[in-house]
Structure formats: structure tokens, C-alpha cells
Structure 1
Amino acid sequence: MIKVVGVRFKDAGKIYYFDPDGKLIKEEDNIIVETSRGIEFGQVVVGPKLVSDDEVYQPLKKVLRVATEDDIYKNKENKIKENEAFGICLEKIEKHELEMKLVDVEYTFD
């Protein structure tokens, strides 16, 4: 058995599992983890809980830290930048008469 926490990076996104690495983490905590996309800000939505080894992809990435006030501020700033970038992209799509629908804009934490 292995202890995991379930993390979401978007409000309705998929849940990914991470090793809490001995840190005291509870549901609804904001945390910083390393993913294949780099350092990311997420929210714990499951856990900590014990699961069998075959229920998760091994090796699990570890939680780097519980989010600090600076991390939370940076995440809020990134959300503002995402909204601004979305608007700019919509303008460019319209200006260049592109046949496309903009679905999402995302800033990674790092």
C-alpha cells in the first residue's frame, strides 16, 4: 500500500495522484508539485489515503510543498494573465478571420 493525495489543476479537471512525501497535507490544501509540464499549482481534492500499488502509475511524483502566500498570489496573477491572453487571442482570431474556436488559455506556474 502507498499513501497518495489526489490533486486537480483545474476546477473540473482530471484527478492526478501524488506522493505526499511525509508532508501534512489535507483535502482543500493548495500545493505545488512537479509534473511533466513543469512546476504546477494544484488543489488537493482526495486524500491522503492508502491505495494498493497497482492502483497508481509508479513511480509517483512527490508533492514539493504546501503552497505559500506567495504561491497563491502568483497563481492568482497567472489567472488574470490567462483572461487577458484569452481576450487578445480572440481579437487576433477575429482580425485575421481565422476559422477556429479558442477553447482555453493556460499559464503554467513556473
Structure 2
Amino acid sequence: MVRVAPINLTFNPKTLWFDPGELEIEKDMPVVVRTARGTEFGIAASEVIEVPEEQVRALKSALRPVERIATEEDVERAREMEEKSRDALPIFKEMAREAHEDMHPVSVEFLLDGDKAVFYFEAEERI
């Protein structure tokens, strides 16, 4: 059996599994995780669970680590990035309107480090 931490990230509708290492994680606990995109803030969907090794091997990629239980500074930083994301959306909408009328901005997400932003939009055709 393999220990996994089910974590919910803000802009991902799925609960993702991470390697908790030796951390004891409880449901609803804020955590900092490492993803392919960078450092992200998440909330534990449940306590650490044990799953069969076959399930972990069947995943598309190896389990990424839970870096740490979020500190108060991490929680505050996540709030700041959420606010920065909300503030960026009207600017994104204006830029999209000028660049391509078929681009419909949905949201902006700043990762926890603040050094990367992801811009989400809808369009009938590829833009």
C-alpha cells in the first residue's frame, strides 16, 4: 500500500493525489504542493489514505510531493494571489477584446509564487 494525500487545487475540478512523505495531513488542511506548473496552494480533500501500488503505477505521472503544511504566510500569500487574479481579469478581458473578438476570458490564476499566471478563456475555434 502507498500513502497518498488527496488534494484539491483551486482551478482544478479533480481531486489530485500527492505524496505526503511523513506529513500527517487532515481533511481541510491547507497545504503547499509541487506540480508540473510550479508551487501551488491546495486544501486536503481528506486525511492521508492508503491505496494499492497498482493504482499509483496506473497514474499518468508519478506522485508529486506535498512540500509542507501551509503556514499563515502561505495562506495569506494564496489570498493575495487570488486577489491579484481577480484584479487581472478585467485587464485580460480588455486585451482579449482588442486582440481577438472570438476570445472570451473566463479567469486568471496566479500560482502561489506569483511568478506565473495562467489565463483561461473560451473560443469556438482555436486561437
Give the whole-Å Cα distance in 2 for the aligned partners of 1:95 and 1:4.
45
Structure 2 residue matching 1:93: 3-state secondary structure: helix
Ranges in structure 2 where 5+ consecutive residues have no aligned partner: 114-127
Give the whole-Å Cα distance in 2 for the aligned partners of 1:17 and 1:24.
15
| TM-score calculated relative to the size of structure 1 | 0.89
Deviates more, 1:79-88 or 1:93-102: 93-102
Give the whole-Å Cα distance in 2 for the aligned partners of 1:10 and 1:69.
18
CA displacement at 1:47 relative to structure 2: 2.8
1:21-50 Cα distance to aligned partner (Å, 9 max, x none): 111210100101111111111111033111
Ranges in structure 1 where 5+ consecutive residues have no aligned partner: none
Give the whole-Å Cα distance in 2 for the aligned partners of 1:10 and 1:66.
16
Structure 1 residue matching 2:20: 3-state secondary structure: coil
Q: Could you tell me which residue of structure 2 aligns to residue 20 of structure 1?
A: 20
The one-letter amino acid of 1:2's match is V
1:62-101 mapped onto 2 (5 Å cutoff): 62-96=65-99, 98-101=101-104
Give the whole-Å Cα distance in 2 for the aligned partners of 1:86 and 1:72.
22
CA displacement at 1:61 relative to structure 2: 1.6
Q: In angstroms, what is the RMSD of aligned CA positions?
A: 1.7
Tell me if structure 1 keeps the 8 A contact 2:11–2:109: no
Q: Which has the higher strand share?
A: 2
Runs of 4 or more consecutive aligned structure 1 residues displaced over 4 Å after TM superposition: none
| TM-score calculated relative to the size of structure 2 | 0.78
Count of matched residue pairs: 110
Deviates more, 1:19-28 or 1:95-104: 95-104
Identity over aligned pairs, percent: 30
